[in-house]
Structure 1
Amino acid sequence: MGEPKLRHEIKHSINFSDYLALRRRLKLIAKPDPHVDQSGKYRIRSLYFDNFSNKALLEKINGVNNREKFRIRYYNDDLSFIRLEKKGKVNGLCFKRSAALTKKQCEQIISGELDWMKETAHPLLLELYFKMNYQQLRPRTLVDYMREPFVYEPGNVRITIDTEIRTGLNSRELFIKDLPTLKTNQNNVIILEVKYDEFLPGIVRDIIQVDNRRNMAFSKYAEARVYG
């Protein structure tokens, strides 16, 4: 599969006034992601995997240096573009791998029909197959939220603002559009994430240094798991 490209990641928890100021400044220097709608945002739904001993959750909570988690994700209710993703951290740097899935394949994975995965040519699907067997990974919970993404090409910088974070509790009903969800504990939290390659341009660094905000470790999956 090859070595993944490692990227830096910065996270801030910000308030609404911070958000308005950041949004205004970012529009001056960065481009919106090409997949956003007229509001400049898109909706994300993710189904996260974990096992009975809560491996992914505890690795996050305990700050394990080398960790990973699997999820299935799609955007704006578009079922023609569904991805299996493996997100991880190595020595403080993050990486992501992905593979395309069909709706039927997702439904088979969720229901535990896994034999077809042995025949796949995609290494990420094979990896999930083996880990669903020997680590007993299983789909665990849904997370919904809205994302406002910006791209700043120098340094390959991606800046995202996530709001309206909700949990599907223990539901695995990935494709029910109007599935009842619950606001997470910090229902007014706004998460600013900045990902970049080798360097963060000074203009972006200056913009994201909002007053009285510090880098933080925030996991939407961990926040959702407060409820089960």
Structure 2
Amino acid sequence: MAIDRMQAQRFELKYLISEETALQVRDFVSCHLDLDEYGVAKPHLSYDVHSLYLDSDTLRTYWDTINGNRNRFKLRIRFYSTDPSVPVYFEIKRRVNNCIMKQRGGVKGSAMPLLLQGYLPEPDHLVSYTPKALVALQNFSRLMHMIQAKPKVHIAYLREAYANEPGTVRVTMDREVRAQPNLTGVISTEMTNPHYSFKPWVILELKFTDRFPNWFGDLVRHFNIMQRGAAKYCASIQAIGAGPLKSPFPVVPEEEVQYTE
């Protein structure tokens, strides 16, 4: 079984870079980290990542991000295939001040519709039972009920990833970020009319759990890149628009909007 590279608690720094710079960053990072096993022998050394984001009808989590609320969360279901034997992951991504914290539980494909309908998670729903995974599912269910979240948007992209063996440092480059509405909760790896965000840029993310690696600073200085927000969910909502999501946007004065990650 492949190693789970998810960092439960970490710091993230994001940058938008050109494809030309991304190829140079690849060579730089390869001197320090190993290529993620999922990217080996793949085009662009990348694998497909799919996420189904849940939100309220008023897009509560979207507006929490846009308005820069310090303690906020997102609810998503991450999947890599529609094969029933491949697990899907119910994930909570929280931001507390500058720290990113994640909880997730791997769920059998057959259990996903039940959980989306509001059924409480049970140990049998898990691919591999652990108390930590069950607590993650319980928290997901609680937050989903709290804001009355429903499936809203399917987001996909190609991810090129590098990590060290302890899993304390990770670098990812995401390309071809695309999205389309999904109000049914039926997952698919295909999109009929995707809306693209961030083209032609590549999203570079530097992730670490403890101390900022010195070579991260060398990378930033060498390529002369500037940190900025790059929230895929928010950019996808803006690309799709409110109409297809059946959620009217409240009127917010432009001077009050803060574009933060």
- TM-score normalised by L of structure 1: 0.87
Q: Which of 38-47 and 127-136 deviates more?
A: 127-136
2:204 is matched with 192
Helix, strand or coil at the partner of 1:205: helix
CA contact (8 A) 2:178 2:197 kept: no
Q: Which of 72-81 and 23-32 deviates more?
A: 72-81
Q: Pick from 16, 19, 43 the counterpart of residue 16 of structure 1.
A: 19
1:149 is matched with 161
Q: Aligned pair 1:106/2:109, yes or no? A: no
Letter in 2 for 1:17: E
The equivalences for 1:1-228 within 5 A come to 6-39=9-42, 40-75=45-80, 80-110=86-116, 112=117, 114-117=118-121, 122-153=134-165, 156-172=168-184, 174-209=186-221, 211-226=223-238, 227-228=240-241
CA contact (8 A) 1:11 1:215 kept: yes
Give the deviation of 1:183 after TM superposition. 3.5
- TM-score normalised by L of structure 2: 0.77
Identity of aligned residues (%): 25
2:257 is matched with none
Letter in 2 for 1:36: G
Give the deviation of 1:65 after TM superposition. 0.7
CA contact (8 A) 2:170 2:208 kept: yes
Q: Which of 79-88 and 123-132 deviates more?
A: 123-132
Helix, strand or coil at the partner of 1:199: coil
- Tell me how many residue pairs correspond in the alignment: 223
Give the deviation of 1:156 after TM superposition. 1.5
* Pair 1:49–1:86, CA change in 2 (3 A): same
* Pair 1:156–1:133, CA change in 2 (3 A): closer
Matches of 1:153 and 1:202 in 2, distance apart?
Answer: 18
CA contact (8 A) 1:71 1:85 kept: yes
Matches of 2:165 and 2:217 in 1, distance apart?
Answer: 14
Helix, strand or coil at the partner of 2:181: coil
Q: Which of 199-208 and 71-80 deviates more?
A: 71-80
Give the deviation of 1:174 after TM superposition. 4.5
Give the deviation of 1:173 after TM superposition. 5.3
- Alpha-carbon displacement from aligned partner over 1:129-181 (angstroms, at most 9, x marks no partner): 23332320111110000000001357811000000100023454543333314
Structure 2, unpaired ranges of 5+: 1-6, 126-130, 242-261
Structure 1, unpaired ranges of 5+: none
- Alpha-carbon displacement from aligned partner over 1:171-223 (angstroms, at most 9, x marks no partner): 54543333314142432221001110221221232124454421111111111
Letter in 2 for 1:7: R
Q: Which of 174-183 and 154-163 deviates more?
A: 174-183
Matches of 1:173 and 1:105 in 2, distance apart?
Answer: 12
